[in-house]
Structure 1
Amino acid sequence: NEVDIVPLAQFCLERGYELRFIEQMPLGPKHEWVRDGMVTASEILAALGERFTLTPLDEPRGAAPAEVWAVAPDATQPGGRLGVIASVTNPFCGACDRTRITSDGQVRTCLFSRTETDLRAILRGGGTDDDIADAWLGAHRAKPRAHGIDEPGFEQPDRPMSAIGG
């Protein structure tokens, strides 16, 4: 993948697209993620920095997952913006306000969580809109402060990213 970083960025900049690179996360279907084999945000930025002039944007990131850089124009591309999502090496958990609902009605408060809140059962059991909202809000309030990837007991979630949505 490393050899594709600069060509992909060049392709997007030439067309006015704002590309986001994301570190590989432990969300694969076979639980084969190995941190040592991951291309880190630092490595991505180093590769981009060898080809482009990057300036970090001085904008509040808020709950957005990407850190964004301005790319100075040059003779081969018009400049633009590129982002990097460093969810493993530079987690943004403290500012994350996201939850996801899966196609089968489960609320997940973190991509890396093994815990889900079942909204489908509430809906099918005749629950009201308020019941559903209360369950979702309760899940969000119980959202962990960090994903725990660096903890010794971390276990990859059972659902792959394709089954979570995100």
Structure 2
Amino acid sequence: MIDKYNREINYLRVSVTDRCNLRCVYCTPREGQSLLGHDDILRYEEISRIIRMAVKIGVAKVRITGGEPLVRHGIVDFIASLKTIEGIDDISLTTNGTFLEAFAERLFDAGMKRINISLDSLHAGKYARITRGGDLDAVLRGIDKVCRIGFSPIKINTVAIKGFNDDEILDFTRLALYKPYQIRFIELMPIGQAGMENNGKYLSNDIVKERISRFYRLEPVNGNQESEVRDQGSEVRDQGAGGSGPAQIFRIAGGVGEIGFISPVSRQFCRSCNRLRLTADGHLRACLLSEAEVDLKGPLRNGCSDEELERLLKRVIAGKQKQYSMACNENHVKKCMREMSSIGG
């Protein structure tokens, strides 16, 4: 479906749970947060119905997120069921990686081939601090296993945080020298109470890229030079199913993998945004930064028809704004008071 700004909306991110076995500092407030009850989250059959309707109006890409999606019972069977929906070209998963070693083979057999792993430090102590207790070795074993099994692409999402992991930029970069990974540096997004707690730790990807370029020659991938944006309103091209969306992608000269930069703060990509977000409690959002959302769970449980559900989805797309500002300041953070873990970042 094409929105009023001529953007093709073909990508749905689905949060299947707000629960997570980690409590990353930029995702969850220090004091924790209240969690949804069992009846408050969408049932798998409800999610499937929404996805089928989304596909009917043009969605072709689905990403499963959380929370941590692998903590939800029945997730592998659910993923396998999505492969039966005609019209879905691409199904992918975002995970913190702690359960990958146990789930990798079942996920692969279920039809999942593309995976993103959140990893913000390669040092065990720092990793435990940022995740408030995570086991780095478990994540690294999981990444190694999905690589051996044949997942591709394997994308590692690293949030660049000033004063915390900015001394590891080159360590992450070297992974792409020897492994077929796409290392994606993501700017810290000021969202929710967790965003307020981390105010002042933002690091521009311009700085990250400059540090890497001192030591390695970065070669643009797939016409990426055209995608390099120089101002807040410039477009970053979506590279299609299996592509990198808003990421600027480079190869390291002589390397095996790739380096990506996702810069929602310094280089907005609103003009090419193609996505919708379904929260675990059944609200559909057109934008991570907008508080506007439409409840789908209520109508579903009240017996709405397919026609009514289609109208609700189209209403969200019709309300998708041209652009939002993501300024790193307290006033902006206060406007985004749903935590990242409850939206499904």
TM-score normalised by length of structure 2: 0.44
Give a deviation string over 1:25-48, Cα, whole Å, max 9, x none: 0124434143x4311010110111
Matched with 1:65 is 246
SS at match of 2:167: helix
Matched with 1:24 is 188
SS at match of 1:82: strand
**For the Cα contact (< 8 Å) 1:19–1:81, is it kept in 2?**
yes
Structure 1 runs not aligned, ≥5 long = none
In the TM superposition, what is the alpha-carbon distance from 1:62 to its structure 2 partner? 2.7
Structure 2 runs not aligned, ≥5 long = 1-164, 228-235, 239-244
Please, which of 284, 288, 305 is the counterpart of residue 128 of structure 1? 305
SS at match of 1:110: coil
Give a deviation string over 1:94-148, Cα, whole Å, max 9, x none: 1101111001100111111111111111111211122122111211121111122
Please, which of 206, 215, 219 is the counterpart of residue 51 of structure 1? 215
Q: Distance in 2 between matches of 1:50 and 1:151?
A: 27
Q: Distance in 1 between matches of 2:204 and 2:306?
A: 42
Q: Distance in 2 between matches of 1:156 and 1:49?
A: 36
Q: Distance in 2 between matches of 1:37 and 1:69?
A: 25
Matched with 1:158 is 337
Q: Distance in 2 between matches of 1:28 and 1:21?
A: 21
Report the CA distance shift for 1:66/1:80 in structure 2 as closer, same or farther (over 3 A).
same
Give a deviation string over 1:15-71, Cα, whole Å, max 9, x none: 21111110000124434143x431101011011112211022315653411111121
In the TM superposition, what is the alpha-carbon distance from 1:151 to its structure 2 partner? 10
In the TM superposition, what is the alpha-carbon distance from 1:8 to its structure 2 partner? 1.2
Higher mean C-alpha deviation, range 5-14 or range 151-160: 151-160
Matched with 2:135 is none
Q: Distance in 2 between matches of 1:6 and 1:156?
A: 34
SS at match of 2:311: helix
Please tell me the residue identity of whatever aligns with 1:48.
Answer: I
Report the CA distance shift for 1:31/1:23 in structure 2 as closer, same or farther (over 3 A).
closer
**For the Cα contact (< 8 Å) 1:62–1:95, is it kept in 2?**
yes
Cα RMSD for the two superposed structures: 2.1
Residue correspondences, number? 161
In the TM superposition, what is the alpha-carbon distance from 1:12 to its structure 2 partner? 3.7
**For the Cα contact (< 8 Å) 2:264–2:326, is it kept in 1?**
no
